[in-house]
Structure 1
Amino acid sequence: MLDVSLKHRFAGFDLDVAFAAPKGLTAIFGRSGAGKTSIINAVAGLLQTDYAQVTLDGVEISTLPTHLRNVGYVFQEARLFPHMTVQRNLKYGSWFRPKAGRDFDRVVALLGLEPLLARAPLHLSGGEKQRVAIGRALLSNPQILLMDEPLSALDSPRKAEILPYLERLRDEAGLPILYVSHALAEVARLATTMLVVEAGRLRRIGPTAEVLSDPSLANVLGLRAAGSLITARLVAQEDDGLSRLETAAGPVFLPRVAASLGALLRLRIPAQDVMIARQAPQDISALNVLPVRIEALRLGEGPGAILTLALGEERLLARITQRSVAALGLAVGQEVFAVLKSVALAQGDIGG
């Protein structure tokens, strides 16, 4: 467990946050300038704040100099040594902590680095460089891993390349990870816990699915990006190229999902891609129609409204117009149908 309490006054900006992050991947989400990087820099000791109390597994580290805090840090750019091979870059991570070198083979396998060991950084893609940077940080044998927008400099194909390795890192590394990002799809796919920061203040922290489905955060998360996270099990690969996944409210059909049958997946569903029907629709092209119950209805200051829909123990958000709310006579407690398009879910919104 990581416990953090920070206060710092910048020119025209005050940072004042306190939170506890459990094991797993805790994403610090917010818009540019919200204070995300300042938080992890303070945890690492790279930023000397007016007040800091940082405790890791019951030991206060905020009084220690940076080099004694035993944190691994992955920056936006890989920052590899250009004159060293991948293997030498990795082994540099354990230079000051030789015992960590015993984990070399495990880290190489975890991040799929075996084919890259003899290469120089010049001959690596952006995603490969970031995987090497993560491996180097892990081989310093840290108690916590800090990652500052590690995918922000990558294009979409390179992000798709590295995301499965980050999922594996989250599940198998066995140490807490603080992950800074302003990309909601990335956070939804990776984070077990989500921390939302706005103008230097903590707006919300909790399990990622709960935070994403909180309609009061829609403006902070971004109306176009707001959505929810549900779990689904892959149960069949259909002959027509679709995958059938089972959710708490019924089946969902998506373009072919590259996963093993039986795999439990996380689906991020943007609120703007959810339509509402009072009756089960007939003769429509949309394949995914889920029976749900309206749990909450929040009217916006403009023409929009956000509905919180219950499907079993999970929640789905829908963003529609207030005119539609009135025309359909929607109200809390009603049983309705959520209509999703199969093609609305991008492959980047599906994770393990």
Structure 2
Amino acid sequence: MPVAETQSSLYLALKSFPSADGQFSLDVKTKIATQGVTAIFGPSGSGKTSLLRAIAGLDSHLVGDIVFEDQVWQSQTHRLATHRRPIGYVFQESSLFDHLNGEQNLRFALNRADTSQPQIQYSDVVALMQIGPLLKRYPHQLSGGERQRIAIARALLIQPKLLLMDEPLSALDEALKQEILPYLETLCHQTQLPIVYVSHALDEVIRLADNMLVLNNGRITEHGPTQQLLGKLGTTFCHYQDASVVIQGRLSAEKSEWGLSELHFDGQSLRVKTPQRKIGEDVKVRVQAKDVSLSLSAHDDTSILNRLQVKVDQIAQEPNDTSMVTVRLLAGNTPILARITALSVHHLQLKTGMIVYAQIKSVAVIV
């Protein structure tokens, strides 16, 4: 394959032979943009970790091609060793050296780093992950979230050109997961480092990923921008109980006395609980389909603050529940999903092309 086709991308064309029971093999051919965060998403056993390990060069039984920007990592005649690939790898477990304290774990990475073109400085990493007070402690003296923050910092100090993260929150309980997610968001927003992030948790993907690559039984079922995929009918996840869309906008006026801010997007605005972000910053929020109701007119005599004028784009009956319907709406170019009863669709006489109002509680918008 010509190098020109792989610039600014990670090209993958990989196959593995079926497992001993004949139930699983990996067969993937795609290009992943080397900007932002790409989530490899899918159920357990779909091949997410196998694909990530192949990118890292940790699985030798996969055949095919891997080309990162202008560098061939794997081909029929060539295989670049893992330690020569410019990657950082964050595992499910923190994998810190137990006999080294936090600072020594980081220094280990610095000693192995490619310093020819350093991307991020030690002090910047410590500040980014807020681990200064933890550096003199040993792994057994840290919580799971603290250990994982140091592990992420260590991966960054390798000075990688690509960061691979294999379900870094899966070993944490919900409280620790919510503790570390803001650090990952900051990492994704403040560094220019491309990240491939494996997860089976939709909430993580929505908060972090610009693009999604969906795997099932070792094959790609969907691949594209997160916002577009989540807003489509007929995808893997539009029938999930927590089917959601991502709305990305700019944080504007804050009403501190009410604890609310306004998020502007596509000529519309949402009132949301004030996030820990600055006015003027771009923010992603999650809206679940079950939290969206529809009206033919904008009513002021209601506790629901968000009433968006939208166009009905598609209507689809739920495949496993004839009483429910999912409606795809467009607020400008931004898709919104509403899950309502078939009776409501009949009562409102909903048809594609109609202009209606999407009603969303501010407390239901997940920031």
The normalised TM-score by structure 2 is 0.89
Matching of residue 237 in structure 1 with residue 237 in structure 2: no
**What percent of counterpart residues are identical?**
41
Give 1:175 deviation, angstroms. Answer: 2.5
Report what 1:103 is aligned to. Answer: 121
Give the paired residue count. 346
Instruction: Please state whether the residue corresponding to 1:95 is helix, strand or coil.
Output: helix
- Confirm whether residue 200 of structure 1 aligns to residue 200 of structure 2: no
Report the counterpart of residue 13 of structure 2 in structure 1.
Answer: 5
Q: Is 1:16 equivalent to 2:27 in the alignment?
A: yes
For residue 308 of structure 2, what is the aligned residue in structure 1?
A: 290
In 2, Cα distance between the equivalents of 1:26 and 1:224?
A: 23
Query: Which structure carries more relative contact order (alpha carbon 8 Å, separation 6+)?
Result: 1
1:319 aligned partner:
339
Q: After the TM superposition, which of the residue ranges 33-42 and 164-173 deviates more from structure 2?
A: 164-173
Residue 59 of structure 1: how far off its partner (Å): 1.1
Q: What RMSD in Å do the two structures reach over aligned CA positions?
A: 1.9
Q: What amino acid is aligned across from residue 211 of structure 1 in structure 2?
A: L
Structure 1, 301-310 or 145-154: larger mean CA deviation = 301-310
Q: Distance in 2 between matches of 1:265 and 1:121?
A: 34
Write the letter of the residue equivalent to 1:223: Y
Which segment is superposed worse, 170-179 or 313-322?
A: 170-179
What is the alpha-carbon distance in structure 1 between the residues aligned to residue 40 and residue 58 of structure 2? 17
CA distance in 2, matches of 1:66, 1:235: 45
**Structure 1 position 101, deviation (Å):** 10
The Cα offsets for residues 116-159 of structure 1, whole Å up to 9 and x where unpaired, read as 22122222222221111011111122221110100112233322
Paired residue secondary structure (2:205): helix
State the distance in 1 between where 2:347 and 2:46 align.
39
For 1:332, the equivalent position in structure 2 comes to 352
Match of 2:285 in 1: 267
What is the alpha-carbon distance in structure 1 between the residues aligned to residue 85 and residue 158 of structure 2?
A: 12
Matched residue SS, 2:50: helix
State the 4+ residue runs in structure 1 displaced beyond 6 angstroms.
Answer: none
Structure 1 unaligned residues grouped into runs of 5+? none
1:314-351: CA deviations, max 9, x gaps? Answer: 11111122222122111110000101112112xxx32x
Q: Which residue number corresponds to residue 156 of structure 2?
A: 138
Provide the C-alpha distance between the structure 2 equivalents of 1:58 and 1:147, rounded to a whole number of angstroms. 22
- Given that 1:249 and 1:291 are in contact with CA atoms closer than 8 Å, whether structure 2 keeps it comes out as no
What is the Cα deviation at residue 288 of structure 1? Answer: 1.1
CA contact (8 A) 1:235 1:246 kept: yes
Task: Check if 1:47 corresponds to 2:67.
Answer: no
The Cα offsets for residues 84-108 of structure 1, whole Å up to 9 and x where unpaired, read as 1100001111333362698322222
TM-score normalised over the length of structure 1: 0.92
1:160 aligns with 2:181: no
Aligned to 1:227: 244
Offset, 1:249: 5.0
Cα distance, 1:247 vs structure 2: 3.3
| AA matched with 2:244 | G
Task: Establish whether residue 64 from structure 1 lines up as the match of residue 80 from structure 2.
Answer: yes
Q: Is the 8 A contact 1:91 1:101 kept in 2?
A: no
Q: Point out where structure 2 has 5 or more consecutive residues left out of the alignment.
A: 1-8
After TM superposition, the structure 1 stretch with the greater mean CA deviation from structure 2, 203-212 or 159-168, is 159-168
